[in-house]
Amino acid sequence: MAARNPGVDFNGSWLENVYINLPAVQRRADTLGTRRTVKKQWQAAWLLRAVACIDLTTLSGDDTESNVSRLCFKAKNPVREDLLKAMKMEDAGITVGAVCVYPSRVADAVRALKAANGSHIPVASVATGFPSGQYPLETRLEEIRYAVKQGATEIDIVINRQMALTGNWKGVYDEVRLMKEACGEAHLKTILATGELGSLTNVYKASMTCMMAGADFIKTSTGKEGVNATFMVALVMVRAIREYFHKTDYKVGFKPAGGIRAAKDACTWLSLMKEELGDEWTSPQLFRLGASALLIDIERQLFHFVYGGRYAAAHEIPMS
């Protein structure tokens, strides 16, 4: 990841007189959703970059050591070897950006990645009462400490939506600041749960508040809300990132999550980052895609490119 964002003192003036031009945001989002995507070898290159930015995730109630182990093997070997050889990328060391699991599965992921010679791949853990966050603060902080102790180097926390919805931004700041401290050396990714914030104005204020509190990444969604990652929300968040950078000179990453399954969407997300923030924000240090099924479709598209227009059968590209 990029250098950590240390945060700054809470400044309520940064949240005053916020106005979102809704029609303009909608028009910009529409251009992203309908544009022609890159083709052939250029598309393949973009898709390989997207692979490197995926947080390969399993957050199910029936997660076990064995399915986490399979996920970690796929994280280390996300694209079939014959496809990489055909593209002359077999020595590029392509892996996903991280493996994301529940705190109780972090130790399993650490062991599995070590066994697969992928111990350099970060293990991310959700925490703080994911996905609702409706737990006492001390319990949420202890969950962070537990995940870090188990070996997580990235922590995806959920913010207090009750405070956000009532405009208690100093309260949100204070909690996220404590969560940052609980992370120790681990990087902090704050999930805004944008589908539950009520307005784009609240999305901007939540983004700025979390960055002031020291978030290294801001993330759209838990993936469990009714509405997850959308381009309208993303535009508000990445422009908040740009504003924060201009104010502080600290770079904060962005992670859309929830409902991202198609390879063409991954290219669109990358183009959004390139156009709004620049090339540096198309690397895994500052951009992640929260997904699991997405990797299957990317590999299918790479297969299609390598094998002259033939799509792979389901058994040719298993998830693990």
Sheet holding 98-101, edge to edge: 253-255, 217-219, 187-191, 154-158, 123-127, 98-101, 54-57, 289-291
pTM recorded for the entire structure: 0.94
Residue 319 clears pLDDT 70, i.e. is over it: no
pLDDT (tens digit, 9 = 90+) per residue, 187-243? 999 999 999 999 999 999 999 999 999 999 999 999 888 888 899 999 999 999 999
Phi, psi (degrees; rounded to nearest 5) at 59: -135, 65
Give the active site residues.
219, 255
pLDDT (tens digit, 9 = 90+) per residue, 80-137? 999 999 999 998 999 999 999 999 999 999 999 999 999 999 999 999 999 999 999 9
Interacting residues of 18 by C-beta distance below 8 A, sequence separation 6+: 201, 204, 205
Please give the CATH architecture assigned to the domain spanning 12-308: Alpha-Beta Barrel (3.20)
User: Where along the chain do its domains lie?
Assistant: 12-308
CA distance 146 to 148: 5
| % of the chain with per-residue pLDDT over 70 | 97
Helices 200-212/231-248 angle, 10° precision: 40
Query: The tokens of 125 are what?
Result: 């853990």
Mean pLDDT of the chain: 93
CA distance 240 to 201: 11
Distances (CA, A) of 140 to 178, 179, 297: 10, 8, 35
